Structure 1
Amino acid sequence: MADPAQTHYLYRTPYGPVTIGATRRAVTAVVLGEAALPGPCRPTDLTNRCATELMEYLAGKRRAFSVPVAPAGTDFQQRVWRALRAIPYGQTRTAADIAAAIGSPASYRLVGAAVRANPAAVLVPCHRVVGAGGRTPGAGRAARMREACLKLERRALAAE
């Protein structure tokens, strides 16, 4: 049974719909597209604040998020996601870079799996993880969104 404090709501962005899930204290998920997340489908102050920050980011007016983020995951995933949040705006790393940063250099494949399992897209910037050749991994809508986020960040840095 879902935590009664959990809610989710679908928001429209210039890049398509985004479903934001949250408890009373933190954002737990940002899913590209429509998703059935735990709890009732209703906006809260926190999901609205997160949506506003996402829209500011997508408009090039925000580089960091202030909403509290608490995605559920294993200890290893949490370590990877903390490392992702430490990647500076507009920069990229490979899974091997992240594996080394968390002290597990041989675990780059597990790092890749943790990146793909990231439930809080954009807030936990998995879009800053690229393949060994520097290309955005994957295909489809999620890959296009990751590429768009990287281009947005690079344009903002170039404009300085």
Structure 2
Amino acid sequence: MTELHQVDYPSPIGVVEITGTEQAIVSLYFSEREQPLHAVQPDTPQVLKECLQQLDEYFKGQRTEFTVPCLSSGTEFQQKVWAALPDIPYGETASYRDIATAVGNEKSVRAVGNANSKNKISIIIPCHRIIGSNGKLTGYAGSLTRKEWLLKHEQSVRNGQSIES
């Protein structure tokens, strides 16, 4: 079995818990803990250290794309949906229907929503950029407050403004 490592990133909107192997990130979630618990250790893989660095740059408004390797496990359809999410430009949004069309089945709006909710690598695979077709924010495992913050953060960085945390 592949050994998993964990490290926490103290973001402006809560602790982000990163889990990965020697080769890739396998999950990135907002924790409900107030303080980071998992610090970088001597045996922390380089990929987790790189993820910490990239997250730090993202939250400081210095990074708009992630290059850290990720490994997602899911159905073929889920994989297609997750692969389409990074195509949504930084600071912009798309609807579930937009993603359904992008993966070749415009009738699969609910299935896209379901796949989106099963994304284990938030922020890097930007499920927060998905909104309802009516333009309203819809469910986000990390909370709608965090989703709104992430979208405002990206829009302000894209527009050359800073955001208050």
TM-score when normalising by structure 1: 0.87
1:23 corresponds to which of 13, 17, 21: 21
Amino acid at match of 2:3: A
Question: Structure 2 CA distance, aligned partners of 1:45 and 1:136?
Answer: 35
Q: Deviations over 1:65-96 (max 9, x none)?
A: 11011111111110000000111111111001
Question: Structure 2 CA distance, aligned partners of 1:140 and 1:111?
Answer: 15
Please tell me whether the aligned partners of residues 19 and 34 of structure 1 are also in contact (alpha carbons under 8 angstroms): no
Question: Structure 1 CA distance, aligned partners of 2:84 and 2:141?
Answer: 25
Instruction: Specify the alignment match of 2:151 in structure 1.
Output: 150
Structure 1 unaligned runs (5+)?
Answer: 36-40
Counting aligned pairs with the same residue, the percent is 35
Match runs of 1:87-102 below 5 Å: 87-102=88-103
Question: Structure 1 CA distance, aligned partners of 2:142 and 2:65?
Answer: 23
Aligned pair count reads 153
Amino acid at match of 1:19: E
Instruction: Specify the alignment match of 1:105 in structure 2.
Output: 106
Structure 2 unaligned runs (5+)?
Answer: 34-39
Cα-Cα RMSD: 2.0
CA gap of 1:139–1:126, structure 2 versus 1, over 3 A, is: closer
TM-score when normalising by structure 2: 0.85
Instruction: Specify the alignment match of 1:52 in structure 2.
Output: 53
Task: Return the structure number with greater helix share.
Answer: 1
CA gap of 1:75–1:141, structure 2 versus 1, over 3 A, is: closer
Please tell me whether the aligned partners of residues 10 and 34 of structure 1 are also in contact (alpha carbons under 8 angstroms): no
Question: Structure 2 CA distance, aligned partners of 1:23 and 1:120?
Answer: 14
Query: Aligned-pair distance for 1:138?
Result: 2.4
SS at match of 1:106: coil
